[in-house]
Amino acid sequence: EVQLVESGGGLVQAGESLRLSCAASGFTFDRYAIGWFRQAPGKEREGVACISNNDGESFYANSVKGRFTISTDYAQNMVYLQMNSVKPEDTAVYYCARRNLPLLGYILHQKDYDYWGQGIQVTVSS
């Protein structure tokens, strides 16, 4: 059974840092790219970042570029999202997801991801 489990969320102040973790199991981890998405209250879910399983290339939404970093630990089947200089507008439920298509075109369409974690809340206070 494919499972993705997020952890590391919580309440932080603006300007601080937070690291989210995604534990993957039930599939051959190094055969898939993994992405992070988020959904703020009253808004649609949006793509945040994705990391290639082929060469480690990473892709970011413009809103987080330069502040967030996605990384993987293939020995532990883990994906991380390091969030620095967080802003109140980063407040959302964050999800990790498995991409089931090649890394072509726009990378952060949620329709291109087939398995999702349950999500974890991140709240940034001003």
State residue 21's pLDDT score. Answer: 98
pLDDT at 65 over 90: yes
- The confidence score (pLDDT) of residue 70 equals 98
Q: Quick one: pLDDT at residue 7?
A: 98
What counts of helices (H) and strands (E) characterise the chain? 0, 11
Task: Return the pLDDT at 101.
Answer: 87
Please name which of 92, 86, 42 lies closest in space to residue 67, comparing C-alpha atoms.
86
- What string of DSSP letters covers 93-117? EEEEEEE-S-S-S-TT-GGGEEEE-
The pair phi, psi for residue 14, each rounded to 5°, is -55, 135
CA angle 24, 28, 34 (to 5 degrees): 50
- CA 118 from chain centre, in angstroms, equals 12
pLDDT of residue 82: 98
CA-wise closest residue to 72 among 16, 121, 33: 33
User: What is the mean predicted confidence (pLDDT) over 103-108?
Assistant: 83
